[in-house]
Structure 1
Amino acid sequence: MQKKLVEVCYTPGGYDYYKGNFEIVVVIDVLRATSAICSAIHNGVKSLIPVSTIEEAKAYQDKGYLVGAERQGQIVSGFDFGNSPYSYMKPEIKGKDIVLSTTNGTRAINIAKDAETVVIGALSNLDYLINWLKDQDKNVLCLCSGWKDKFNLEDSICGGAIAEGLLKTGKFISNEDASVAAKYLYLAAKDNYFGFLKSSSHRRRLKKLNLNEDIKFCLTPNQMEVIPILKGDRLVKLDT
């Protein structure tokens, strides 16, 4: 059986180098968009509509949608919430269609939207996602959202975790140094994500905003068995 590829792309700006060669794209934004999306779908939100700009988010809000909008780690004034995972656990939003726009994550989702399959990855759904990917027999690209098209540690570690999980099956190979580096970052961090990421730029950014509870949630692996998948313009729960 021919082995499939798994690679890690560190930023949306690098996506064009990989585009078209991977049937499955896993979008990752650990702090905090994809962690929030997993939380929302796990807690019964019907769908999430990811939009890249505040203008798009406002247009949906004008139509009556609940909208989460975040820039620079903070809720954008005038919107219902930001991208804290805890915002999407409230019982009053269960069964709703919600719009989300974030600094990095929703942009990455929309950049990848023409791929055959786009799913959402985070540390919170890590093992469940890896187990599903193992059975798909398709090439997998882990697309890290990064921070404003720059490398970040937490997304790269999560991408490395997915890559390592697939490589261990013997069904996958990686050819790129970026993937090798991501795998070794994960192996160095896996026993203590909190300690390893203590000095990371986005963790420090969120800490200054008093978002420590969000950080703890997002860096705690395997809290939920859910895979959000992009269907048309909406993220919904994948039936596995």
Structure 2
Amino acid sequence: MPRKIEVCLSPALIDLYAIEDSIVVVIDILRATSSIVYGIDNGAKAIIPVAQVEDCLAYAGCGYLLAAERNGEVVEGYDFGNSPFSYTAEKVKDKTVVLTTTNGTKALHLARSRASQVVIGSFLNLQSLCDWLSAQEKDVLLLCAGWKDQPNLEDTIFAGAVIREIHSSFTEFDDAGVAAQDLYALAKDDLRAYVGKSSHSKRMEALNIEEDIVFCLQLNVCTAIPVLEGDELVALKKDL
């Protein structure tokens, strides 16, 4: 059957896409979706994305881990932010994390209101995600979280990597997807160097979190695909 795969370069553009029957892949490479994938892969029971820092407080004192990030930094008074190194098995296994971030959780909330299904993508679970998407019979929208409604390099590059991997499973493509593929072709031989051109990479370097960038650009170190079920991101039960 004909299948369409599109790329939305910013959450500000999501209303332009008909996604009621589509799988939406939310992408925030540096760092929210990378950390979500890593946390679920490491046995977190669930991750609850909330829109505002204040929303985390409703979960205080109930046994949840509270994670809040704004502008690349941990919000004071919270357990941690969105560094993948906070989502190790030692810290999150069998626990539920309540998470809010500058860009990623905003994109998740915009997608959930209309999408048929919402899943999480990162370089960490690229192959697992692509294998699963290829096996589905739905259109796909790759939603880049960007930076404060502006497009960014790292999310667009990842969208291009997905399309390149599963191109043969689809019959319709948009221009943003073509551009994303071309960008990935330029970046793939040295992702770190290419992503180093990005504005968010420079923000993170200024915060001395270079190791987070390197970690988030690793390929296929996780197999979990987080899927939104109700208010929670949990591990997708794959039929593959």
Q: Equivalent of 2:170, from 162, 169, 172?
A: 172
Cα distance, 1:90 vs. partner?
4.4
In structure 2, C-alpha distance between the alignment counterparts of 1:77 and 1:135, rounded to whole Å: 43
Match of 2:6 in 1: 7
Aligned residue number for residue 196 of structure 2: 198
Return 5+ residue gaps in structure 1 as ranges: none
Q: Measure, in 2, the Cα distance between the counterparts of 1:20 and 1:157.
A: 22
Who is 1:225 aligned against? 223
Q: CA–CA distance in 2 between the matches of 1:22 and 1:12?
A: 18
Name the structure 1 match of 2:181.
183
Between the aligned partners of 2:20 and 2:158, the Cα distance in structure 1 is 21
Distance 1:57 1:130 in 2: 32
Indicate the residue corresponding to 1:48 in structure 2.
47
**8 Å contact from structure 2 (residues 5, 174) kept in 1:** no
Q: TM-score, normalised by structure 2?
A: 0.95
SS of structure 1 residue aligned to 2:138: coil
Aligned partner of 2:135 in structure 1 is 135
Cα displacement (A) at 1:164: 1.7
Instruction: Report the CA distance between 1:190 and its aligned residue.
Output: 1.1
Q: What runs of 5+ residues in structure 2 fail to find an aligned partner?
A: none
Following superposition, the deviation at residue 19 of structure 1 comes to 3.3
How far has the Cα of 1:64 moved from its partner? 4.3
Deviation at 1:220, TM superposition (A): 1.2
Q: How far is the alpha carbon of 1:157 from its aligned partner?
A: 0.5
- Matching residue's letter, 1:162: V
Alignment of 1:1-80 (within 5 A): 2-20=1-19, 22-80=21-79
Match of 2:152 in 1: 152
The residue type paired with residue 236 of structure 2 is L
Contact 1:38/1:228 (<8 A) preserved:
yes
Aligned mates of 1:131, 1:175 — CA distance in 2:
19
Equivalent AA in structure 2 for residue 72 of structure 1: N
Which residue of structure 2 aligns with residue 83 of structure 1?
Answer: 82
For the residues of structure 2 that align with 1:19 and 1:141, how far apart are their CA atoms?
9
Q: Deviations over 1:34-62 (max 9, x none)?
A: 00000100111000000010111122225
Deviates more, 1:51-60 or 1:27-36: 51-60
Give % identity: 49
What is the match of residue 106 of structure 2?
Answer: 107
Task: Give a deviation string over 1:143-191, Cα, whole Å, max 9, x none.
Answer: 0000000010000011111112221x2x303442111101111111111
Larger displacement relative to structure 2 (93-102 or 63-72): 63-72
Q: Deviation above 4 Å: which 4+ runs of structure 1?
A: none
Measured on the aligned residues, the alpha-carbon RMSD in Å equals 1.2
Matched residue type, 1:207? E
Which one is further off, 53-62 or 217-226? 53-62
Q: Is the CA contact 1:21–1:139 (under 8 Å) kept in the aligned structure 2? A: no
List per-residue Cα deviations over 1:176-222 (Å, max 9, x = no partner). 21111011111111111011111210111001101011000001111
Shift of 1:21: 5.2
- For 2:72 and 2:158, the matched residues in 1 are separated by 20
Equivalenced residues, count: 237
Give distance in 2, aligned partners of 1:69 and 1:152: 21
CA contact under 8 A between 1:22 and 1:141: conserved in structure 2?
no
Secondary structure of the corresponding residue to residue 60 of structure 2: helix
Distance in 1 separating the partners of 2:152 and 2:187? 14
